[in-house]
Amino acid sequence: MAEHALVLKLTDEPGSLHAVSTVLAEHGANVTSLEVVSHSEAVRQLSVEFTLDGGAESLLKDLCALTVASDIEVISSSAAIYGKRIVIMGGGAQVGQVALGAVAEADRHNIRGERISVDTIPLVGEQAISAAVRAVVRLPRVHLLVLAGTLMGGEITAAVKDVRQQGLIVISLNMAGGVPDAADLVVSDPVQAGVMAVMAVADTAQFDILRQQNRRY
């Protein structure tokens, strides 16, 4: 199955997305990523990635024939351009130190052909952090979450268990609360936590996170 990615400019009206999805379904395309962005009140930009058995020439022809589509551009997939994402959330000072290690380590692997990006979000409060943890799995290309703080437990612990069941890797700083016991790996030094987070997702690193589960450093 060949991978394809398109950007379409669609008329902002009911049925536009349905028209595009109908064409994709008729050609047997399996949609792997879909995002709608508003650039004006009249036009929506649709980014869609899909796999298809064979070439996409016939599919593109049918999409161009749609009255709701004003422009179609063939692009590279976001995974090929931006690669994998690591999200760091928690207290501002700890988040900054984890990011320091993660960015430095990501640079080393990206020079060797990886595409690893690091996102940070300083947050406080059990409800805010637990909601953000659960939302991480809805973001594209996120492979790992680092929780950086001094105290996390309660609903955050439950959220960590939920996202781990969905396949997300979670690294926690060694902090008070129940989150460290629920995470895949616990690291005391925030800079080292950032380094190990990148090593856990990088194909160019000799590091198996499964062999480190439930360990503390």
pLDDT one-digit tens code per residue, 99-116: 999 999 999 999 988 899
Please, what are the domains in the chain? Answer: 2-78 (3.30.70.260), 83-216 (3.40.50.10550)
Mean pLDDT, rounded, for 170-185: 95
Q: Return the pLDDT at 211.
A: 64
pLDDT, average across residues 1-18: 89
pLDDT at residue 27 in the model: 93
User: pTM for the complete prediction?
Assistant: 0.77
pLDDT of residue 152 exceeding 70: yes
Round to whole Å and give the CA distance between 150 and 122.
13
Mean pLDDT of 155-164: 96
Least confident of 155-159, 174-178, 203-207: 203-207
Tokens 């430095």 correspond to what residue? 104
What pLDDT is attached to residue 197? Answer: 95
pLDDT of residue 126: 95
Q: Which of 79-88, 99-108, 127-136 has the lowest mean pLDDT?
A: 79-88
pLDDT-derived band at 165 (thresholds 50, 70, 90) equals: very high
Taking only the tens place, the pLDDT of each residue in 27-59 is 999 998 888 887 777 888 889 999 998 888 999
